Structures are given as C-alpha cells and as structure tokens.
Amino acid sequence: MEVFIQQLINGITLGSIYGLIALGYTMVFGIIGMVNFAHGDVFMVSAFIALVTFLVLTTWLGIGSIVVALLIVLIVAMLLTSLVNWAIERIAYRPLRGSFRLAPLISAIGMSIFLSNFVQVAQGPRVKSIPPFFNEVIVLMTRDDGYEAAVSYKQIVVWLVTAALLAVFWFVVTRTALGRAQRACEQDQKMAALLGIDVDRTVSITFIIAAALAAVAGTMYLTYYGVVSFADGFVPGVKAFTAAVLGGIGSLPGAVVGGLLIGLVETMWSAYVSTDYKDVAAFSILAITMIFLPQGILGRPDVEKV
C-alpha cells in the first residue's frame, strides 16, 4: 500500500510535467494542424535557460531565498523560451503555412535536430546537475520494514505551480478575447480572418503560450530532478505527445488528463514491472491509442466528408 501511494505521488508529479508539455503540442496542433516535432526540444531548452538563470541568481547575485530565486527563474524562463518559440515559428513554420503538409513536418524535425545539437555544442555534452534543495519530506505512511511513503516539498512545489499556471492558462483561453480568437482560428482559419482576426498574430501568440507552458515544465523538471541534458528533449517530448494524443489531440483538458495518465502509467510500470521497458510502455500506448481510439479519450471523432 505504501509503495502504491508513493508511486501515485510520483506519477502525479511526473504527469504534471508531461501535461504542461502536452498542452503545447495540442494547442499548436489545434490551431495550425501541425505536430510540432521541435516542442520537446523547446522544453529541454527551457530547462537549460532555467538552469543558467538559477545559477546567475544563486552564484552571481547571491540570492539566498530559494523560493524567490525559483519565482524569478520561472518568469525569466517563460519570457526567454517564448522568444525562442516565437522565432522558431517565424523562421521555420510560417513560410510553410498553407497546403503543404510534409514540408512543415520536415522543417520541424530539422529544427528539433538543430536545437538539441545547439545546446550540445553551446553547453557541452555532459549532464548538468545542481545541488538539491527543498529536500524535506512529509511522511504519510510507514511500512513495517521502514519504507516510507512520503511527499517531498519539491513535489508539492511542482503541483502548486502547475495548478496555478493551468488556472491562469484556462482563464486566458476561455475568458479573454485572445482565447476566443484562438478558438476561432482553430475552428476555421479562413472565416476567422474574414471576420478581422489577425491569424498570424494569433498563431504567434499560441506558440508563445505553448512555450511558456513548456518553460514551466522545464523549470519544474529542473527543480524536481536537479539534472538536465541536451538529450532530454526527445523522449519526454514523445511521451508528452503521447499524452496529448491519448487525451484527444486538440482538446486542452485532454492534454492534462493524458499527461497525468502517462505519468502514472510510467511510474507504476517502473515500480511494478520493470524499469527497462518503461519507454516501450509509453510508445506502445501511443500506438494502441492511435489504432483503436484515434480521437483520444476526450476528443471528437474525425469523420471524412465524401
């Protein structure tokens, strides 16, 4: 029982991170119908930006309070990652918007390769780690042999930040004019343009929001695990994409639900079955979902008009 509770806690934490990245995939797919292959690497870049900012704050500026530092790191990472994603969209995707389907895909793959190698060249291939903080835990249950099911402060931080930002995000998408414009573009781009919505700007803003969410995920990833590497873009990226598909690509709540599910499945699988094949589990879920339930859990089926 204790093990199960612990895995539940771990799974929800991991799932929150996946969910944040999955939202980025789903938003971009929803508005321009494209799978942004480079999004996982944008997440990785944001983790590195968070790392550098954190080091600047703690080693250069000597900010003592971790909480303050993290807050500043979060904001800076969100800002700079948004800039990166905005630039990526302008350079690699906007010129290809239109009827071409394969070209944006290849461009995105190229961008993904570029980003991971850029970080590798610029920061070196070694794994980067920071000294752990927030190490205290709250013990929930103890087993007879001393095994403790505990939730750590780190995990609580991840949950709180994720929940807070999801709330802000939800508000923006459902209550503001920007959110309405975005949903209009998702439904029918031409019509939205005819009604005076600046589609280019809306797409840019979508990419910026997606990046901001990825940056939150990146900062949380750094906080939780304490290590980052240039190769951390691909596998978490695919898992997050699996989450988006599982929840129903194009559905925002679906992305969050999918993320939590994937996080839980991965954690449970590692604990109860084996750690070796845990990545296979994620990919297999992806394949099975697409074959049997392509619209995902919360999505709507895609009927082709004859």
Partner 1 sequence: MAAEAPSSATRIDVARALREGALAGLIAFGLFLPLIGFNTVQNIHNELVLETRWPLLAAMVAIMAIGRFLYALLVAPWRARLALRPRPEQVAVAPWRAALGRWVVPCALGFAVVYPPLALSLAGVQGAVKWIDNFGVQILIYVMLGWGLNIVVGLAGLLDLGYVAFYAVGAYSYALLAQAFGLSFWILLPLAGCLAAFWGMLLGFPVLRLRGDYLAIVTLAFGEIIRLVLINWVPVTNGYAGISGIPRPSFFGIPFNASDEGFAARFGLEFSPIYRTIFLYYLILALALITAALTVRMRRLPIGRAWEALREDEIACRSLGINTTNTKLTAFAIGAMFAGFAGSFFAARQGFISPESFTFMESAVIVAIVVLGGMGSLVGVAVAAVIMIGGTEIMRELDFLKIVFGRDFDPTQYRMLLFGFAMVLIMVWKPRGLIATRDPSTFLKERKSIAGSHVKEGHG
Separation of alpha carbons 53 and 67, rounded Å: 14
Residue with tokens 């205290």, as numbered in its chain: 136
What type of residue is 45?
Answer: V
Q: Angle at Cα 253 formed by Cα 204 and Cα 239, nearest 5°?
A: 80
Q: How near is the Cβ of 302 to partner 1 at its closest, in Å? A: 8
Residue with tokens 């990226």, as numbered in its chain: 237
- Residue 144 or 302: which CB sits closer to partner 1? 302
- Residue 257 or 286: which CB sits closer to partner 1? 286
Pair of tokens at residue 185: 């573009």
Q: How near is the Cβ of 277 to partner 1 at its closest, in Å? A: 6
- Residue 106 or 140: which CB sits closer to partner 1? 106
- Residue 148 or 200: which CB sits closer to partner 1? 200
- Residue 176 or 284: which CB sits closer to partner 1? 284
Which positions ≥6 away from 80 have C-beta within 8 Å? 46, 49, 215
Q: How near is the Cβ of 284 to partner 1 at its closest, in Å? A: 6
- Residue 139 or 303: which CB sits closer to partner 1? 303
- Residue 128 or 180: which CB sits closer to partner 1? 128
Nearest to 282 by CA among 7, 3, 11, 4: 11
Which backbone phi and psi does 282 adopt, to 5 degrees? Answer: -65, -50
Which positions lie near partner 1, rule CB under 8 A?
33-35, 45, 48-49, 51-53, 55-56, 59-60, 80, 83-84, 87, 91-92, 95-96, 100-107, 109-115, 117-124, 126, 128-131, 234, 238, 241-242, 245, 276-277, 279-280, 283-284, 286-287, 290-291, 294, 302, 304, 306
Q: How near is the Cβ of 155 to partner 1 at its closest, in Å? A: 23
Largest CA distance in the chain: 68
Nearest to 7 by CA among 121, 127, 147: 147
b/e string for 176-212 if b means 16 or more Cβ within 10 A? eeebebbbbbbeebeebeeeebebeebbbbbbbbbbb
Q: How near is the Cβ of 285 to partner 1 at its closest, in Å? A: 9
Separation of alpha carbons 250 and 167, rounded Å: 18
Q: How near is the Cβ of 114 to partner 1 at its closest, in Å? A: 3
Q: How near is the Cβ of 4 to partner 1 at its closest, in Å? A: 25
